[in-house]
């Protein structure tokens, strides 16, 4: 799958997820004076991951990426409260959810094993022998050695 197709597939999933998300505005905590006390500016997003019908490997990556943000019932709960307005917090929470879903769709690159050449192997074994010889000479000092 080339880059354009992958990006399009990611966007389809993100759009589908954002269509199923439940938003709830709650009172934010922290500084903000009178505004924070009277206006519910913080937003809480809830997304049922099972309703997305993700592939098992994508679901597992999403589960590990979400961590404590995912409940036992399979809901991702994100809260955004860093801005003064509902709209800015809503945009931030939706963007964080979209990034989480995009990251879960990317499969990790396979790690290529490194190969040590013959000289590198010989050098490593020589240094191990030298280190072993140093350690072998250690021991208790007897009274006669003073």
CATH (domain of 92)? 3.30.160.20
- Structure confidence at residue 32 as a pLDDT band (50, 70, 90): low
- Answer yes or no: is pLDDT of 125 > 90: yes
Q: How many domains does the chain have?
A: 1
How far is it, in rounded angstroms, from Cα 61 to Cα 140?
A: 54
Predicted model pTM: 0.68
Residue 117 lies in a domain: no
Sign of the torsion angle spanned by Cα atoms 134, 137, 142, 146: negative
pLDDT value at position 137?
Answer: 87
Instruction: State whether residue 100 is helix, strand or coil.
Output: helix
Residue 130 within any structural domain of the chain: no
Q: Looking at the domain assignment, is residue 41 inside a domain?
A: yes
**CB atoms < 10 A from the CB of 41, how many?**
23
Q: Is residue 83 part of a domain?
A: yes
**What is the pLDDT at residue 19?**
86
* Domain assignment of residue 126, yes or no: no
% of the chain at pLDDT higher than 70: 94
């Amino acid at each position: 799958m080339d880059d354009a197709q992958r990006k399009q597939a990611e966007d389809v999933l993100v759009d589908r997820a954002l269509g199923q998300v439940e938003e709830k505005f709650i009172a934010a905590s922290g500084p903000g004076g009178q505004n924070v006390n009277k206006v519910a500016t913080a937003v809480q997003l809830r997304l049922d991951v099972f309703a997305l019908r993700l592939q098992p490997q994508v679901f597992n990556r999403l589960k590990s990426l979400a961590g404590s943000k995912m409940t036992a019932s399979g809901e991702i709960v994100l809260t955004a409260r860093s801005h003064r307005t509902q709209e800015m917090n809503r945009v931030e929470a939706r963007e964080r959810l979209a990034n989480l879903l995009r990251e879960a769709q990317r499969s990790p690159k396979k790690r290529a094993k490194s190969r040590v050449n013959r000289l590198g192997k010989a050098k490593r074994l020589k240094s191990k022998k030298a280190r072993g010889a140093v350690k072998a000479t250690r021991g208790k000092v007897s009274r006669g050695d003073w």
